[in-house]
Structure 1
Amino acid sequence: MKAYSCLMVIALLAACLWSCKKDSSPKNTGTNGTTGTTGATGTGSTTDTTKTTLKTDVYYVGFLNKNQTTGGNRAELWKNGVLTSLSNIISSASNIWVSKGNTYVCGYEGIAVSTHAVYWKNFNYSTPLTDGSEYRSIANDITVQDSDVLCVGDVIDHTGYKAVFWRNQKMTVLTNNGDASRILVKGSDIYIAGAYTDAKGNSFACYWKNGIVHKLSARAQATGIAIDDNSNIYVCGTQNNSPIYWKNDVMTALPKTTKLAFANAITTKGDDVYIVGSGEDDPYWGYNHAYCWKNGIPQDFSGGSEADDITIVGTHIFIAGSHAAGLNKYGRLWEDTLIAYLDPYGLTSVFNGLYIDQHY
């Protein structure tokens, strides 16, 4: 979701609909199999499930390519390292929310030559979010407000490209020529991060509060949103292939060591702000560096090439993403900068979304 003009937004999001997309409202804070390393708080291997000092259930979602020759991605959910398939057709899971013991996952399924936004509840059959008449659609993020299931995403139909919001499958168009990346519920208010293009063709990063658009910077894309205990609003995103974030509309550039870099998700803990993202030097080879910034300062963590989501529980930081090996990717979860879990199946996989359920 790194798009910084109308044409780039459309091109990249359309491409994402064929693979996976990611993306962040922070969870609980409002975000090949090679052998992993062992540290004070995490253990990873090709066979072990996630182990953590916390009494939690650790969920992460994405896709597993079960047919390397035909590109047969399938939406998957991992709970404490145990894999559950969500779909038996081409599909991908974008993000996850857990509420009152129920598990909600959003993403897309492929039908014919197109993709259509769906969500899954408790690993059951997918629930469509559109009537299937659109060219393509995807649900990028999901949460629950009271008993209502809320999703945001993008739809391309005969009228063009649009950012949308679903409440219990009822769709509302936020804007034409835009996209919706993340959703966050704070009290009775609903915040959505994304981008839109105005009538003059100028693109802007933005967020919507209860459906009202709030413009940020031009030629930028917002990909994550968080609100701290003092009601400060933080939004992360990308401008001109460089990672940025806004605090109450004031933009700050984030340092990078790669030619291109993107901020993908943001969360807060007390006065600290954490942002994760990905970088690359050569677009042909894809991402080759995972970023985690704390208060604007890069934090190193071992290995990996892409960081897509972040969650903090207590003093523990969890990051979901993937590790590149040649042209393949393998799902990876970090806990406190240590590799807590590596996808052991030897197949291409990506972890897009993350949720930590501390229910004990």
Structure 2
Amino acid sequence: MKHIFYAFALLFLVTSCGKDDEASTPLTPEPENPVPQNTAPELADQSFTVAENITDTTVIGTITATDTEEDALTYSLTTNSNDLFVLTETGELSLATGKLLNYDVAQTHTLTIEVTDATNTTTANITITITNSPDVYIVGSEYNGTGTMATLWKNGVATILSDIYSRAYDIAISGEQVYIAGSIENSGLQEATLWKNETAITLSNAGNRAEAKSVSITETGNVYIAGYEHVENYSESYVKVWNENGQLAFATLPSINVTSNNYIGWSGSSSCLYTTGSDVYVTGFERFGNGINRATLWRNGIPEVIEEVNHPNPNSIYPNSVYVSGTNTYVAGSKNEGIPSATLWKNGEKTKLSNSNNIANANSVYVSGNDVYVVGKEWFGTHFVATLWKNDEVIRLTDIADSSTASAVFVLENDVYIVGSIAGKATLWINGEGRALSNATSSHAYGLFVKP
């Protein structure tokens, strides 16, 4: 009897367990190929610091994001700052074409960018901090469709100095006073002109063709302007040095008594005048009817002969620029010894800078420490090339297959500033990197001043 009871009880338990299992919820099986969830790219806020004087060819920085799936990422700029910047799809950030930074207007710029992996998008803020750079003042001319106008570029921004035919050749600055030497046409004749804070002052005599080519300020604040003036229907021409009131500082005359076909002047350099202490130096040339051509340096109006040649070609010698460093006097220009060659005279001792087989001319000289910088142009096969001669090194400033020239050089600390033109466009080079100053049909930069 007991055996029958235990069997019945066991059967009841088995049956009860089976009913409970049937009533429970079955488990959901795992899919064989699960679909992965895409994660958004990770992009943090980033910051960059750049100098005020960068160009639109400078990469400010590269935006970097990460993606778990290592998908291809595309970057875009969603909030700009006055359309100053551009961002490539690969994340390179730079200035928009033709745009410039201005520390005086804004010291920082904040941009919003986004990055996408084609499924998800992430945004971040980019902060660009601007460091102050020296103010670069450049003078020259632009052709505006009706005439050539004297132009001042300050940090790349152009100001037209006159609305009639005019040119600006050189600039000097003392404090907030800006002095520019050049010329304005009046009744068909150019008149030597000084702009003081953009106000024009006529220096030369009415009826004579004249130009102011260079301006310099002494340590005591005296302003001198050098130029030339043709007299008596171009029969003679003289170097003139004026003060800022238009009065003659020195009455420079030929240094030898030859009365026929006397001509004193220079080919147009913006740095033919230099002042140091109370001394005023001017360089130029003298031509005489007997075939004598003379490179001359006037110190306080007294002529000193740099070199004299007897040559039938009146263009046989051209001193263009003078710089005084300590007890050394440097004059740069050209001398024709079969062909015109870029030449530097140091204390009267001549050094040929250019290749003997190439026509060349030196337009400006600047001395910084033990380094001597000379700029000009040298002929290479089919065109002139803007050239820097630094000590014994020859540096071509452009490889563009079109004519170019370098007109003036200025050195501040370790930075070298050069102005001139490429293919008829005013150009500034900073440490060898060139940038166009003008979109005008034709333009040229002749002189510059860099203010810390």
TM-score, structure 1 as length reference: 0.79
The answer to whether residue 164 in structure 2 is matched with residue 144 in structure 1 is no
Could you tell me which amino acid in structure 2 is paired with residue 356 of structure 1? V
Please give the root-mean-square deviation of Cα atoms over the aligned residues, in Å.
Answer: 2.5
The answer on whether the counterparts of 2:144 and 2:440 sit within 8 Å (CA) in structure 1 is no
d(CA) in 1 for partners of 2:369 and 2:451?
A: 19
d(CA) in 1 for partners of 2:203 and 2:144?
A: 25
Match of 1:330 in 2: 425
Q: Which of 335, 347, 355 does residue 239 from structure 1 map onto?
A: 335
d(CA) in 2 for partners of 1:44 and 1:268?
A: 33
Q: Which of 264, 272, 290 does residue 178 from structure 1 map onto?
A: 264
Match of 2:112 in 1: none
d(CA) in 2 for partners of 1:81 and 1:357?
A: 14
Match of 1:189 in 2: 279
The CA deviation at 1:279 is 2.6
d(CA) in 1 for partners of 2:196 and 2:296?
A: 29
d(CA) in 2 for partners of 1:161 and 1:336?
A: 38
The CA deviation at 1:198 is 4.9
The answer to whether residue 408 in structure 2 is matched with residue 309 in structure 1 is yes
d(CA) in 2 for partners of 1:100 and 1:252?
A: 37
The answer on whether the counterparts of 1:255 and 1:297 sit within 8 Å (CA) in structure 2 is no
**1:47 aligned counterpart, secondary structure:** coil
d(CA) in 2 for partners of 1:90 and 1:248?
A: 39
The answer on whether the counterparts of 2:376 and 2:386 sit within 8 Å (CA) in structure 1 is yes
The answer on whether the counterparts of 1:255 and 1:296 sit within 8 Å (CA) in structure 2 is no
Q: Which of 304, 309, 317 does residue 220 from structure 1 map onto?
A: 317
The answer on whether the counterparts of 2:386 and 2:398 sit within 8 Å (CA) in structure 1 is no
d(CA) in 2 for partners of 1:205 and 1:297?
A: 25
Q: Which of 144, 151, 157 does residue 66 from structure 1 map onto?
A: 144
Describe the superposition over 1:223-277 as per-residue Cα deviations: whole angstroms up to 9, x where unpaired. Answer: 1111224x21111110011100011111010123873210000011111111000
d(CA) in 1 for partners of 2:142 and 2:225?
A: 23
The CA deviation at 1:199 is 7.1
The answer on whether the counterparts of 1:44 and 1:342 sit within 8 Å (CA) in structure 2 is no
Match of 2:390 in 1: 294
TM-score, structure 2 as length reference: 0.64
d(CA) in 2 for partners of 1:348 and 1:91?
A: 14
Q: Please say which of residues 143-152 and 306-315 is displaced more in the overlay.
A: 143-152
**Superposition misfits of 4+ residues, deviation over 6 angstroms:** 50-54
The answer on whether the counterparts of 1:194 and 1:223 sit within 8 Å (CA) in structure 2 is yes
Match of 2:75 in 1: none
The CA deviation at 1:203 is 1.0
Could you tell me which amino acid in structure 2 is paired with residue 138 of structure 1? E
Name the CA shift for 1:39/1:141 in 2 (closer, same or farther; >3 Å). farther
The CA deviation at 1:81 is 0.7
d(CA) in 2 for partners of 1:311 and 1:86?
A: 22
**2:204 aligned counterpart, secondary structure:** coil
Name the CA shift for 1:36/1:296 in 2 (closer, same or farther; >3 Å). farther
The answer on whether the counterparts of 1:274 and 1:294 sit within 8 Å (CA) in structure 2 is yes
Name the CA shift for 1:50/1:356 in 2 (closer, same or farther; >3 Å). farther
Could you tell me which amino acid in structure 2 is paired with residue 174 of structure 1? T
Could you tell me which amino acid in structure 1 is paired with residue 217 of structure 2? V
Could you tell me which amino acid in structure 1 is paired with residue 451 of structure 2? D
Q: In the TM superposition, what are the counterparts of 1:1-360 in structure 2 within 5 Å? A: 37-38=57-58, 47-49=98-100, 55-67=133-145, 70=146, 72-124=147-199, 126-134=200-208, 136-145=209-218, 146-158=220-232, 159-168=235-244, 169-171=246-248, 172-176=250-254, 177-179=263-265, 182-198=272-288, 200-218=290-308, 219-229=316-326, 231-240=327-336, 241-256=340-355, 259-280=358-379, 288-303=384-399, 305-324=404-423, 329-339=424-434, 341-358=435-452
Name the CA shift for 1:232/1:224 in 2 (closer, same or farther; >3 Å). same
The answer on whether the counterparts of 1:161 and 1:178 sit within 8 Å (CA) in structure 2 is yes
Name the CA shift for 1:336/1:258 in 2 (closer, same or farther; >3 Å). farther
The CA deviation at 1:207 is 0.8
**1:166 aligned counterpart, secondary structure:** strand
Could you tell me which amino acid in structure 1 is paired with residue 151 of structure 2? E
- Structure number with greater Rg is 2
Name the CA shift for 1:344/1:141 in 2 (closer, same or farther; >3 Å). closer
Describe the superposition over 1:293-324 as per-residue Cα deviations: whole angstroms up to 9, x where unpaired. Answer: 01132123334611000000000000000011
**2:396 aligned counterpart, secondary structure:** coil
Q: Name the % identity.
A: 28
The answer on whether the counterparts of 2:354 and 2:378 sit within 8 Å (CA) in structure 1 is no
Could you tell me which amino acid in structure 2 is paired with residue 151 of structure 1? I
Describe the superposition over 1:58-81 as per-residue Cα deviations: whole angstroms up to 9, x where unpaired. Answer: 0000001001xx5x0000100001
Q: Which has the higher contact order (CA 8 A, sep 6+)?
A: 1
The CA deviation at 1:210 is 1.1
Q: Please say which of residues 212-221 and 307-316 is displaced more in the overlay.
A: 212-221
The CA deviation at 1:44 is 8.8
Structure 1 segments unaligned to the other structure (5+ residues): 1-34
Between the two proteins, the alignment pairs up a number of residues equal to 308
